[in-house]
Structure 1
Amino acid sequence: MSIHMTTRPMSRILIVENEDATRHALKTLLERHAYRVEEAASLDAAQALAPQTFDLVICDLRLAGEDGTQMLALSAPTPVLVMTDHASLRKAVVALKEGAVDCITKPLDDDEVVTTVARVSGSPGPARDASPPGVPSGMIGECAAMQCVYERIRKTAPADVTVLVQGESGTGKELVARALHRQSRRAKAPLICVNCAAIPETLIESELFGHEKGAFTGANSARTGLVEAADGGTLFLDEIGELPLDAQARLLRVLQEGEIRRIGSVETRYVDVRLIAATHRDLQSLSRSGEFRLDLYYRLNVMQIDLPPLRERDDDILAIAKILLERACARHARPGLRLSRAARRDILGYAWPGNVRELENALERGVILAEGHLIHPDDLGLPSERASRATPPSAEPPHSSDDEASLDDDLSLEDYFQHFVLEHQAQMSETELAQKLGISRKCLWERRQRLGIPRKKQPRRMA
């Protein structure tokens, strides 16, 4: 599932983003795919670079003290791809209506960015090595359980029915929603993603269904709801089990009749929205306790897609780790970092209660903390009292060509480290040992303590 660069004319892209880390990561990603990239941290800086001469402008809608939609006029006739977070989705819809070619949401997904940029700039997209047909962009894994997910997505996407995605937190439910949208007849219309758990209960109805001016204290102007903003496209409601009962009743009306009514309005509006809902909770159990409407559950569960937890995907874990590690290395400008054999063994043996999201966080820590060119178990920072599982012998990390090409990959806590220190500590100082091992003196001391390797006492000199 690795991505490689294809031969193509080098498109010139201008990134307008005031956050240095995001701008740098995006520039690094696009340059890896053979684009020529220039950066600007403000509208003035972007204008000085003559944005109309570029092939594509990528602009954040929320620049520091500036309105990113102004780039649409400044860049014409160059197409503008806008970036936004969930809090600015309404602004993104306005930008699309004013001429933006597409919108990508933060946090940015590497595969989605590359695929979208390739499509809107007219250049070929990234090619995937040995990818089975029908694997959605951004999703990784070839185990039997994931093959069932891909097949369900392929059959369900064009049917335009309501979908309920179930899976533990961190399994990639939003990726499924994006894949369903991309493969549907609504692909060119907006995809609006909403995390129901992230919006205060007092604001959820206003956010989803909108309100009229004066409908309540603080409603100084009318506002379009996110359901209405998704008209013609797809609405993804993540953690729908957290939706209050009043909002559930309104949502049921949308699914049954296609009707919405803004808070404080007597006017009924009609919308054409495909709903994809996701949850990690058992909605049937919630309905029995009165926390979730049973009639809404039946309306949602026209088609169900179940995502397997990472601990049930033994065949995929290292492949996923490899790709996530490449992305983290690119974000932090640390190319070439690899997992030691001991780190891979720990990754396979850990139960990953936080699933892919937890794995991604662990690898991010590893990239930041690693000394030298290998990431070791202590760099990953997994819990000491970890929810571990027995790793069958067949699941031991295989010897890859990378392992055979470098003995350094045997620098595990159990073997090479211990052997090297015991063999050389009589002739080398602690500083020299650490330098040879490619780690800090502090790290050397910590690993001595963990493995019970005492420092060899130097002979005392006679006065």
Structure 2
Amino acid sequence: MSRILIVEDEAIIRSALRRLLERHDHRVSEAGSVAEALALEPQGFDLVISDLRLPGEPGTELIARAAPVPVLIMTSYASMRSAVEALKQGAVDYVAKPFDHDELLETVARVLHQQATQQGEPPDITEPNGQRQTMIGNCPAMQVVYTRIRKAAPADVTVLVQGESGTGKELVARALHQQSRRAGAPLICVNCAAIPETLIESELFGHEKGAFTGASAARTGLVEAADGGTLFLDEIGELPLDAQARLLRVLQEGEIRKIGSVETRHVNVRLIAATHRDLQSLSKTGEFRLDLYYRLNVMQIDLPSLREREDDILQIADVLLEKACRRHEREGLRLSRAARRTIRDYPWPGNVRELENALERGVILAEGHLIHPDDLGLATAPRPLLEPASQVPASSGHAEPEPGEEDDLSLEDYFQHFVLEHQDQMSETELAQKLGISRKCLWERRQRLGIPRKKSPRRNTG
């Protein structure tokens, strides 16, 4: 239930709005002015709805003073000028009075949903060795992940985690388990791709003595071992069809039957599955059971790849570097500016796991107190450029290097030199083509490096 503060000096409008919101399960408080609203501590609410014109200070005063709580502005003067001014000052949206009830409720629901999505807190996770860690990253995609974890964990439903290899799917599974009501019970993690196809049914569901050649003793399966707790099946797309049928039985009936047994046993297991493959597409080719896919996909959490988390990459690198330095007893090592640029621009097809390995190499190979790009051992340049660097003068207009970086000519340096030298003779499209990047990427790098477009490209009109 969301808490909403209404700031409106006209009592009739304020009461009508309160009744409307309370009928839709919101808790509402009222104020007649900015001063009264501040006395109610607006930061404790989920949303502030304020009239623009109030006695004393205008409603827009609350935008900064209620932050980070969003402020929705109401105005009887439905001019674009007042609306735009309110939005410029940071209002999340505006509504014109007299307002349509359905439109207002839709706007409130949208703002509250956006706020809940943006305020996801990284969950704390206890690793198998007992150490605690927090999931790293604050980009919008990870905020959605944190919110999904927070909402799905106590719900005790099956969760399907999708993402490329190395994005941290097991971390999500641990977070879901440790924030659930099953946190005191075991979490059993199984990588379906790591178990031979001939053994996976025995591993998951157990077997009786003599059930097959080599079964010299009865064995309890991992599903039964997770009874009362959580079973995490990583790379579930690699599960053979026979094992899929047995797993479907567990999800539908809560029953397992060991190989070679005629007896069934009831188990109470929460399943979290993960995959980097498109299970729905696999079901169309017969490689994955469609009915199992629907059973798994009750709640879905999509993990972004590292290349989609540009704002988080360096933060993650710093945390992983600190851990690697402790492991190898090389405290005080840091990344050179060129190495940081390389890390930021590299596409990371192996995601966080590849980044961790690169930093491990850097810690081992670094000679001095700085880790340079060569120490990271990355196979290819992040974004290859078509123009050879030898055509660009290396001595003009680049930032002063840090100690130990005098020989580094980074891709950012090359980009800056090339653009400054050729932008008067080339169009943006020609520049992008020569650099081997898109126009959008060219624009983004201009913004990041502060390189303005000096003049329009020369054209021969004769």
In the alignment, what sits opposite 1:283?
Answer: 279
**For the residues of structure 2 that align with 1:189 and 1:196, how far apart are their CA atoms?**
22
Q: Does residue 314 of structure 2 align to residue 300 of structure 1?
A: no
In the alignment, what sits opposite 1:93?
Answer: none
Do the aligned residues in 2 keep the contact of 1:351 with 1:389 (CA within 8 Å)?
Answer: no
Matched residue SS, 1:304: strand
**For the residues of structure 1 that align with 2:321 and 2:408, how far apart are their CA atoms?**
21
**For the residues of structure 2 that align with 1:387 and 1:263, how far apart are their CA atoms?**
52
CA gap 1:190/1:213 in 2 versus in 1, 3 angstroms:
same
In the alignment, what sits opposite 1:157?
Answer: 153
Number of residues paired by the alignment? 275
**For the residues of structure 1 that align with 2:385 and 2:140, how far apart are their CA atoms?**
21
In the alignment, what sits opposite 2:409?
Answer: 414
Alignment-mate amino acid for residue 347 of structure 2: A
Deviation digits for residues 64-97 of structure 1 (CA, Å, limit 9, x no counterpart)? xxxxxxxxxxxxxxxxxxxxxxxxxxxxxxxxxx
**For the residues of structure 1 that align with 2:165 and 2:245, how far apart are their CA atoms?**
26
In the alignment, what sits opposite 2:249?
Answer: 253
Deviation digits for residues 339-394 of structure 1 (CA, Å, limit 9, x no counterpart)? 0000001111110000000000000000010011100000000013556699xxxx
**For the residues of structure 1 that align with 2:370 and 2:171, how far apart are their CA atoms?**
30
Matched residue SS, 1:220: coil
Residues 175-324 of structure 1 aligned to structure 2 (within 5 Å): 175-324=171-320
Do the aligned residues in 1 keep the contact of 2:125 with 2:174 (CA within 8 Å)?
Answer: no
Matched residue SS, 1:408: coil
Deviation digits for residues 2-23 of structure 1 (CA, Å, limit 9, x no counterpart)? xxxxxxxxxxxxxxxxxxxxxx
Q: What's the offset of the Cα at 1:279? A: 0.2
CA gap 1:412/1:257 in 2 versus in 1, 3 angstroms:
farther
**For the residues of structure 2 that align with 1:319 and 1:205, how far apart are their CA atoms?**
41
**Higher normalized contact order (CA 8 Å, seq sep 6+, divided by chain length):** 1
Alignment-mate amino acid for residue 360 of structure 1: E
CA gap 1:227/1:151 in 2 versus in 1, 3 angstroms:
same
Alignment-mate amino acid for residue 414 of structure 1: L
Do the aligned residues in 1 keep the contact of 2:345 with 2:382 (CA within 8 Å)?
Answer: no
Q: What's the offset of the Cα at 1:139? A: 1.1
**For the residues of structure 1 that align with 2:266 and 2:369, how far apart are their CA atoms?**
58
Residues 319-358 of structure 1 aligned to structure 2 (within 5 Å): 319-358=315-354
Deviation digits for residues 17-37 of structure 1 (CA, Å, limit 9, x no counterpart)? xxxxxxxxxxxxxxxxxxxxx
CA gap 1:266/1:168 in 2 versus in 1, 3 angstroms:
same
Q: Does residue 382 of structure 2 align to residue 368 of structure 1?
A: no
Matched residue SS, 2:403: helix
Residues 139-150 of structure 1 aligned to structure 2 (within 5 Å): 139-150=135-146
**For the residues of structure 1 that align with 2:187 and 2:372, how far apart are their CA atoms?**
40
Alignment-mate amino acid for residue 249 of structure 2: R
Q: Which runs of 4+ in 1 moved over 4 A?
A: 385-390, 409-412
Deviation digits for residues 167-194 of structure 1 (CA, Å, limit 9, x no counterpart)? 0010000000000000000001000000
Alignment-mate amino acid for residue 345 of structure 1: R
Q: What's the offset of the Cα at 1:138? A: 3.4
Percent identical across equivalent pairs?
Answer: 80
Do the aligned residues in 1 keep the contact of 2:307 with 2:351 (CA within 8 Å)?
Answer: yes
**For the residues of structure 1 that align with 2:189 and 2:384, how far apart are their CA atoms?**
34
**For the residues of structure 2 that align with 1:388 and 1:362, how far apart are their CA atoms?**
19
**For the residues of structure 1 that align with 2:337 and 2:406, how far apart are their CA atoms?**
8
In the alignment, what sits opposite 1:459?
Answer: none
The answer for unaligned runs of 5 or more in structure 2 is 1-123, 387-398, 411-462
Report the RMSD for the aligned CA atoms in angstroms: 2.3
**For the residues of structure 2 that align with 1:386 and 1:235, how far apart are their CA atoms?**
38
In the alignment, what sits opposite 1:384?
Answer: 380
Alignment-mate amino acid for residue 157 of structure 1: A
Q: TM-score, normalised by structure 1?
A: 0.57
In the alignment, what sits opposite 1:74?
Answer: none
CA gap 1:387/1:161 in 2 versus in 1, 3 angstroms:
farther
**For the residues of structure 2 that align with 1:240 and 1:286, how far apart are their CA atoms?**
12
Do the aligned residues in 2 keep the contact of 1:248 with 1:293 (CA within 8 Å)?
Answer: yes
Matched residue SS, 2:271: strand
Q: TM-score, normalised by structure 2?
A: 0.57
